[in-house]
Amino acid sequence: MEIWYSTSLGDGMTSGAVAGEIEEAFARASAAAENPSAMAVFTRPESEGRLHCEVIAYFSPASREVATAFDAEPCARPARTGLSLLAGDEHSWSVLFPENL
């Protein structure tokens, strides 16, 4: 089992700044790795019964370098439902979630 990573980007209103920083760091790391499809970052707003949602970023195993730069913690692979691709190639969906084809 490969290890995914996750970190909170804060609430939905303020998460954009951190998301932009992740996109920039990811672009550099991805280019250095020759843009592999297995390298991606996804986000999902999660509320877990709270009034305001918290945006969580999920880094694929190939994105470990970027994940550690943002203090992401190891986690299980997220369910695909509700995820949005923040950074990476569109082909990463089929590479990282092949059961959803």
Tens-digit pLDDT string for the chain (101 aa): 689 999 999 877 678 788 899 999 999 999 999 999 999 999 999 876 655 688 999 999 999 999 999 999 999 999 999 999 999 999 999 999 998 65
Give the integer Cα–Cα distance in Å for 98 and 101. Answer: 6
Question: Which residues face 59 on adjacent strands?
Answer: 5, 41
Is-above-0.95 flag for pTM? no
Q: Is there a contact between 22 and 79 (Cβ–Cβ < 8 Å)?
A: no
